[in-house]
Amino acid sequence: MRLIIHIGTPKAGSSSLQVALDTNRNRLMEQGILYPTIERATHHSGLASGLHVPEAMRDIDLRRNGNDPALVVRKTEAAWQSLADQVSSHNPETLLLSAENFMSIDDFTTLREWLARIAPDAEISSVAYLRAPVPNHESKASQRLGRTTKVRLPGHLPWHSRLMRWKNIGPVQLRDLAKVGDIRTDFLEAVQAGLASKLSMPGRNANVSLTGEGCIALQAAMMNVTSDSASDYVERSRVWRARLAEAEAALGESLSLRRVTVNPAVRWLILDEWHDEAVALREKFDFQFDEPALYDRAEIDKGLAETGARDLGLAETDALSRFLANDQTAALRLLAHAAEQGAVRQGGFPLSSMKDGLRKLLRKGAR
């Protein structure tokens, strides 16, 4: 049996791939390929959740389990047992697993034990789709605002060290999301030549995000909303996100709206943070992003100096407008439209207060 594990990474098309695999479970099984059902989800995050040390467990996993890490572990054990039962029942030629949080697991000992039990003689390999550092950072801005008003500071993810641990399980293939086109077709063709043409492809399941202007407005709106709990914040953020999406649709032709775009100084800070990681990926996995400056230390230092990036003193509590090159005036108009089309008051704060709050954020961002 072959076992192919899709291990992420986040913001690199995983949702679209998982929906396609989930939609085609029966057709895949006709080809001898099992894409198992775990906890009635389109993905297999339940297999990885409890393989993290408690302090590294995802907030969503802890919230769903009463903030009890032991319960997360027990549910993960149950998920692996369910997988074992499905493999035993179907006896597939190929087993496919997919979860973004596979990438960050800590407990490889338990992982090996389960793999040995489920597929003792399997040919195991893993594949990870990577998004270049700057687009990766930009794509997370809208998602992050769903749970906090704090801004994500430039930083890198320890992909190299994590991938080296996966390399001890079996061969690891890295794919540049910007180069593969449709992740679904790319992955399926790697599983079996011609497989994509035999399946029914659902519509692309890209996670819908606000424009950069919409994100600036969302942060301002949520800073003026009192939330009693994390779940309350998430719900209120969802309401405002929907209103701002409607505002973008209504005003899009009259405003200069574009995707989240970091300003030049933040771009250089991101490349600075990622330089060593990118070089390690190139050396150990022969993988290189299509971003020449990322590998040029002298050019990065020059860019940092010319933009004064290291002197900005950026903080998580700053206005998002300090980080982005998006139109701040357009953000104000989006917020006004969203508030006027919905309730004039949100969380007890009048529209005038929100406008004042956004203006303060924009003035702070301009400094």
Q: Give Cβ neighbours of residue 10 (< 8 Å, ≥ 6 apart).
A: 100, 103, 140
Q: Give Cβ neighbours of residue 87 (< 8 Å, ≥ 6 apart).
A: 34, 36, 95, 118, 119
pLDDT by residue (tens digit) across 112-150? Answer: 999 999 999 999 999 999 999 999 999 988 889 998 999
Listed in order, the ranges of the chain carrying CATH 3.40.50 are 2-136+156-198
Residue recorded with tokens 């549910």 = 75
Q: Is the pLDDT of residue 44 over 60?
A: yes
| The two structure tokens encoding residue 89 | 């029942």
pLDDT band of residue 97 (cuts 50, 70, 90) is very high
The answer to whether 3 and 122 have CB atoms below 8 angstroms apart is yes
| The two structure tokens encoding residue 277 | 């990681």
Q: Is the pLDDT of residue 357 over 90?
A: no
Sign of the Cα torsion 254, 259, 262, 267 reads: negative
Least confident of 167-176, 186-195, 225-234, 255-264: 225-234
β-sheet bridge partners, residue 128 = 174
Q: Is the pLDDT of residue 345 over 70?
A: no
The CATH number of 2-136+156-198, from 3.30.450, 2.60.40, 3.40.50, 1.10.3470, is 3.40.50
pLDDT by residue (tens digit) across 236-294? Answer: 999 999 999 999 999 999 999 999 999 999 999 999 999 999 999 999 999 999 999 99
State the chain's mean pLDDT as an integer. 91
pTM, whole model, 2 decimals?
0.88
β-sheet bridge partners, residue 126 = 5, 172
Question: Does an H or E element contain 350, and which?
Answer: strand 349-350
Taking CA atoms, 100 is separated from 55, 130, 243, 280, in Å, by 18, 11, 29, 21
Q: Which residue has the higher pLDDT, 343 or 2?
A: 2
**Do strands 123-130 and 172-176 pair parallel, antiparallel, or not at all (unpaired)?**
parallel
The CB density around residue 34, as the number of other CB atoms within 10 Å, is 23
The answer to whether 348 and 226 have CB atoms below 8 angstroms apart is yes
Residue recorded with tokens 């687009």 = 135
